[in-house]
Copies of this chain bind each other. A is one copy, B any other.
């Protein structure tokens, strides 16, 4: 019970949560001093946390220039979503094969939490939506698969934070309910299809087709060149 967590752990978790809840948006500078002062710890602990976040791909770490919340490009976004579809399809296939009633209970309980948080329209519902997918991966029993899903869901949160218009909950709760139902039906093809449709819907919310990002400043300035 008594979880001993080091200070760098605390900073890591809080920063991560802040980023995934879109309180810290992509591109935000993460100055070590600022964070250290705010959490009342030394820069040492902050640096350790930033190194970890960088390894997970949600923080960029440019040499001698400090850290900032990662800004996935449109290209990376499509790449990541494609891989996500593949990973989560595998999750579904494995779960259809052996999903116990206890597992279903946990999933249903999670969805109830999501529903309760729905009126919130805040960071909580954003986080819970992602954690539903992570929970699915964990229920496969594969540590490695769950690890990858966790990482890729995090990066998808970043993508939505960057590109999606309003930071509404990423997943419709109803779609999660459908996934659970499909799993219980033990129909692999259907379950997989519903998951892929769900992920496609999430991707649509990100509006990856519309180049709203303007990740490159020069691209913006190009259009102003003629206005002289």
- A residues whose Cβ falls under 8 Å from a Cβ of B: 4, 6, 44, 47-48, 51-52, 55-57, 63, 76, 79-80, 82-83, 86, 90, 142-145, 147-148, 152, 155
Chain B neighbourhood of A143, CB < 8 A: 76, 79
Q: Would B55 and A6 count as touching, CB distance under 8 A?
A: no
Q: Which residue of B lies closest to A53 (CB)?
A: B55
Pick from A4, A47, A56 the residue with the most CB of B within 10 Å: A47
Q: What 5 A-B pairs are tightest by C-beta distance, nearest first?
A: A55-B55, A83-B144, A51-B51, A80-B144, A79-B144
Contact status of A83 and B52, CB under 8 A, knowing A4-B63, A6-B63, A63-B6: no
This chain: copies in complex: 2
Q: Would B142 and A82 count as touching, CB distance under 8 A?
A: yes
Interface contacts beyond A6-B63, A51-B51, A57-B147: sample of 14 additional A-B pairs, CB < 8 Å, sorted by A: A44-B44, A48-B48, A51-B55, A55-B55, A76-B144, A79-B144, A79-B145, A80-B144, A82-B142, A83-B144, A83-B145, A83-B148, A144-B155, A148-B148
Q: 21 A-B Cβ contacts within 8 A?
A: A4-B63, A6-B63, A44-B44, A48-B51, A51-B52, A51-B55, A52-B55, A55-B56, A76-B143, A76-B144, A79-B142, A79-B143, A79-B144, A79-B145, A80-B144, A82-B142, A83-B142, A86-B90, A144-B152, A144-B155, A148-B148
Return A154 CB to nearest CB of chain B, in Å. Answer: 12
Pick from A6, A57, A143 the residue with the most CB of B within 10 Å: A143
Q: Which residue of B lies closest to A51 (CB)?
A: B51
Chain B neighbourhood of A51, CB < 8 A: 48, 51-52, 55
Chain B neighbourhood of A57, CB < 8 A: 147
- Could you tell me the distance between the alpha carbons of A90 and B86 in the complex, rounded to whole angstroms? 9
- Could you tell me the distance between the alpha carbons of A90 and B87 in the complex, rounded to whole angstroms? 11
Q: Which residue of B lies closest to A47 (CB)?
A: B48
